[in-house]
Chain A
Amino acid sequence: MIDWLALAVALPLLGAVGAVMLPGRAPAIGLAGAVLTTSAALSVGLLVAQGTALRSDLGGWGAPLGIALAADGLSAALLVMANLVALCISVYALDYFGAGSRRHFWPLWLLLWAALNGLFLAADLFNLYVTLELLGISAAALGALTGRPEAVGANLRYLLVGLLGSMTYLLGVALLYAGLGTLDLKLAAAALTPGPLAWTVFALMVGGLLLKAALFPLHFWLPPAHAQAPAPVSAALSALVVKAAFYLVLRLWVDLFGAVTDGGAATLLGALGTGAVVWGSWRAFRAERLKLLAAYSTVAQVGYLFLFFPLLAEAPATQRQDLLGAVLLLALTHGFAKAGLFLSAGLLQKAAGHDRIADLGPSIQGLPAVALAIGLAGVALVGLPPSGTFIAKWVLLSSAIGSGQWWWAPGVVLGTLLASAYVFRVLANAFERGPRHGSLHDARGELAAAPVSIGRLAQAVPLLMTLIAVAVLGLEAEPLWDLLQDRSP
């Protein structure tokens, strides 16, 4: 029996080592690692979809001493999304980096990937801590890859803030172990009872994770860090790394803390989520640079994800599955759409030499595939049909109103309107013609004279990802709910 779970974590690690040892071959090794890792992840997904949840005790050591990897419906779905997105980013990155950067990019990227897979597959709290740390360190290093002061500064802040979060999380883990004597998620869930211990542990662990998930008002580090990073890294940061932290909060809530916390915590998360939606969308609308707009859009989308918590807390058991499916769909769609948006922004930045939205007109018009990708990403980010976001938003609204918590609805509507505003602000450039600043532009001519030519493969990648977000997840998302059915082996 091939242990796909272990392979999903081990393969990128091996790839990273390989890329360090043979820097000249780094891209080839990187791509090979990417393909192999994605295959492993897809196998995990397939196995879980067909039958039961997977569990692997590494080294034969069972709980509570050993490290276990496990995959159920929720983690398998996110694993598959993360690996597909990461594969697309890898293909895109083949051409993106120059000779100097690529020997640094590929090992760090594969390390990040290993941490990501490890995080989704971790079955105990300690393992989660390790992968969380690895994720944070490699992400900060990647973000600072360009070496420019703004990028380094922003990612240094990201690193420090991330460490603050992890230390807090670790203290929570320590106290949990002190109280329950186990770190395994399942065993801990069985032993946990409501009380001051549960409350403290919950506050510490979730608080630390909220910092990493960039929930308003703890989001301040995200926009500069994501906007300054190179495009493939920004894509990974916004689409995957932030998602991983949210996944942890969700996992802890559903598996561990859901039974012991009352609605107060959920309402707090929902309120912060609403703040994130409104504030993030507003700042995105005001942003002058495309990557900053995309980064603030992530802040807003994280808010939407957290809006599901008060609904989950109040929902009867029959509806919880529906809600979980919806929040999962939202996370998946955002992963594809945001990565596609950042990759497209990267292409525009290469073509135009900058990413100031107001002046991107000629570049957008000269790259119709990129314009289409941005359009589709916009549709998915706003939540217009067809897209996974639309379905998730519908479920969010009807569940909020149906459970009597209608006060969450206005925030969602306002966020949608602001998102439409900032998305179409960018898209209007695709149509704008005529004299600007006193001189006529010929879109194709200007691009022909540009120093960098944009490869077809690089253009196809974001288009494919946004198509998935819109067409596949918008119309064929139904199997997700089946995936979330209880699959205990």
Chain B
Amino acid sequence: MPAGRTPVLITQLIYGLGGLVLFLIGIWSFLVHEPLLRKLIALNVMGAGVFHVLIAVAYRGLETIPDPVPHALVLTGIVVAVSATALALTLGLRLGHGDD
């Protein structure tokens, strides 16, 4: 894969910056909000932000197919996020956070 020398397209920029904004919102929410469910949502928003950045990175223009490596990263990241969220919810249930 060539180093990032292909011209950055507007779409990429929107997705990438959007992803970063989501990431920041996620961190802020995680640090500020107390209830477990909100923290989990915040983490997932962070994750979504990172995935957006990765998708933006994968874009190589309209002629070539996108770079598969970041897509693989996104898929793995989604799996990890889901599993971790599931575990967190189970633990939270154990603690009696079902009403949050």
Contact = CB atoms under 8 A, between A and B. Distances in A.
B77 interface: yes
Given A159-B84, A159-B88, A167 B43 contact: yes
A194 interface: no
B84 A137 contact: yes
B8 to A, nearest CB: 10
Contacts of A171: 23, 49-50, 53
Among B27, B40, B72, B77, the one with the most A-chain Cβ atoms within 10 Å of its Cβ is B77
Contacts of B84: 133, 136-137, 159, 163
Given A140-B87, A147-B94, A156-B95, A181 B53 contact: no
A314 to B, nearest CB: 32
A435 interface: no
Nearest to B55: A174
Interface in B15-74: 16, 23, 26-27, 30, 36, 39-40, 43, 46-47, 49-50, 53-54, 56-57, 68-70, 72-73
Nearest to A159: B88
A187 to B, nearest CB: 10
Contact of B1 (A136, A141, A149, A181): A181
Interface string A166-194: 11001101110111111100000001000
A144 interface: yes
A152 interface: yes
A125 to B, nearest CB: 10
A152 B46 contact: no
B4 interface: yes
Among A163, A164, A183, the one with the most B-chain Cβ atoms within 10 Å of its Cβ is A163
Contacts of A130: 76, 80
30 contacts: A65-B69, A129-B73, A130-B76, A133-B84, A137-B83, A137-B84, A140-B91, A144-B91, A147-B94, A149-B95, A152-B94, A152-B95, A153-B95, A156-B36, A156-B88, A156-B95, A159-B84, A159-B91, A160-B43, A164-B30, A164-B46, A166-B80, A167-B43, A167-B47, A167-B50, A174-B50, A177-B73, A178-B53, A178-B56, A181-B3
Nearest to A161: B30
B43 A164 contact: yes
Interface in A173-232: 173-175, 177-183, 191
Contacts of B46: 164, 167
Interface in B73-99: 73, 76-77, 80-81, 83-84, 87-88, 91-92, 94-95
A151 B16 CA distance: 39
Contacts of A153: 95
A459 interface: no
A181 B54 contact: no
B7 interface: no
A432 B26 CA distance: 54
A133 B4 contact: no
A62 interface: no
Interface of A: 64-65, 126, 129-130, 133, 136-137, 140-141, 144, 147, 149, 152-153, 155-156, 159-160, 163-164, 166-167, 170-171, 173-175, 177-183, 191
A166 B61 CA distance: 29
Nearest to B83: A137
B48 to A, nearest CB: 10
Interface of B: 1-4, 16, 23, 26-27, 30, 36, 39-40, 43, 46-47, 49-50, 53-54, 56-57, 68-70, 72-73, 76-77, 80-81, 83-84, 87-88, 91-92, 94-95
Contact of A174 (B40, B70, B87): B70
A191 B3 contact: yes
B69 A177 contact: yes
A160 B39 contact: yes
B50 A155 contact: no
A130 B75 CA distance: 11
Nearest to A170: B50
A177 B3 contact: no
A137 B90 CA distance: 12
B71 to A, nearest CB: 12
Nearest to A180: B3
Contacts of A164: 27, 30, 43, 46
A130 B83 CA distance: 12
A181 B2 contact: yes
A147 B95 CA distance: 9
A163 B26 CA distance: 12
Contacts of B57: 174, 177-178
A126 B73 contact: yes
A152 B81 CA distance: 19
A160 B84 CA distance: 9
Nearest to A65: B69
Contact of A177 (B26, B39, B70): B70
B24 to A, nearest CB: 10
A452 B66 CA distance: 62
Nearest to B5: A181
Contacts of A191: 3
A182 B84 CA distance: 27
A179 B8 CA distance: 12
B10 to A, nearest CB: 16
A11 B88 CA distance: 27
